[in-house]
Amino acid sequence: MSKIITGLHHVTAMTSDARANLNFYAGILGLRLVKRTINFDAPDVYHFYYGDETGSPGSIMTFFPIPGLKRGRKGNGQLTVTSFSIPESSLEYWMKRLDKFNVSYRPPQQRFEEVFIYFEDYEGQGLELVANAKDLRKGYGTGHIPAEHAIRGFYGVTLSIESYERTAGLLTSIMDHHSIEEKGSRFRFSASGKSGDLVDIVCVPDAQRGLSGSGTVHHLAFATESDDTQLEISKKLQAYGLDVTRILDRQYFHSIYFREPSGILFEVATSDIGFEIDEEREKLGEALKLPQWQEKNRASIEEDLPSIDINFETYYD
């Protein structure tokens, strides 16, 4: 029987500084800005999507840049680390690159069979680069980062919660994940068994509760193939006792949202539309794109949004 949940789709986080966000994720990390649009629920806020060449599901990290947003706090009840996959031989390259831009990182560590470095962005967003030989996806090679060292997409995510049992139960009984490894207080799950969609649950019963704000993750989105499979998972989640939203049109995918038992906001997003629906592949991310129902308000929306001078040729060398 085919799975309804096929892996990770995207991670959405919050920032207070749009320009710094572009510089860090498209510049230092070399992710492609595949879409520059708005928060469909708050049209005076940008929504940036970063990923591989086309913004494939499992490569997409997105941000809501909200000027003046207060700094959040990573902690219990949050997605606290987003891990990106890099080639096994690229760890030294990335340490030198982070050094070049004065990004502090912890020395390489080993966890299960992987070697990784942990670092944070300019607001404390928890990030990892995980070196491995299993990921055969093609990285987005830019002029300043060679393709052989480019980020391949997600390796996985880390959820910090008080107790893993209820969240693990949801993942394994309803959301097509299975347990693949555990050590100490870390429990690892996957929908596909491949690198790129790993969900680690870390039990932190004594940690402070996380606070939403800049430098924290807003929600985690899982991938499903189509509207039909999304409707199927929605019914299963509701039967499980969860409060699930109606299906929402996000232009590049359709979405449902719900909170898992520890309070983390989960989304299920479809994989069958994509970012080339309103821009050619070569021009992804260059223009401000609005949902069709907001085009009539373009003038006022553009007036309300902070001015951003995006020069795609001058990202960090």
Residue 193: predicted pLDDT: 80
Residues making up the chain, counted from first to last: 317
Per-residue pLDDT for 95 more than 70?
yes
Per-residue pLDDT for 124 more than 90?
yes
Q: Is residue 310 in some structural domain?
A: no
Interacting residues of 153 by C-beta distance below 8 A, sequence separation 6+: 51, 52, 56, 58, 59, 84, 85, 135, 137, 196
In the chain, how many domains are there? 1
Mean pLDDT of all residues in 25-32? 95
Measured CA to CA, the distance from residue 294 to residue 247 in angstroms comes to 19
Measured CA to CA, the distance from residue 15 to residue 63 in angstroms comes to 7
Per-residue pLDDT for 314 more than 80?
no
Q: What are phi and psi of 146, to 5 degrees?
A: -60, 145
Q: Please state the pTM of the whole predicted model.
A: 0.95
Mean pLDDT of all residues in 183-204? 93
Query: Which two structure tokens, joined as six digits, stand for 3?
Result: 């799975």
Q: Is residue 198 in some structural domain?
A: yes
Q: What is the pLDDT of residues 209-268, one digit of tens each?
A: 999 999 999 999 999 999 999 999 999 999 999 999 999 999 999 999 999 999 999 999
Residue 143: predicted pLDDT: 74
Helices (H), 55-164: 91-100
Q: What is the CATH number of the domain that holds 10?
A: 3.10.180.10
Measured CA to CA, the distance from residue 111 to residue 200 in angstroms comes to 11
Q: Is residue 117 in some structural domain?
A: yes
Q: Is residue 258 in some structural domain?
A: yes
Q: Is residue 240 in some structural domain?
A: yes
Q: Is residue 125 in some structural domain?
A: yes
Q: Band of the pLDDT at 1, cuts 50, 70, 90?
A: low
Map tokens 């070049």 to a residue.
100
Range of the structural domain that residue 185 is part of? 5-304
Q: Is residue 313 in some structural domain?
A: no
**Residue 225 gets which letter from DSSP?**
S
Q: Is residue 317 in some structural domain?
A: no
Residue 142: predicted pLDDT: 80
Question: Among the listed ranges 111-120, 210-219, 267-276, 306-315, which one has the minimum average pLDDT value?
Answer: 306-315
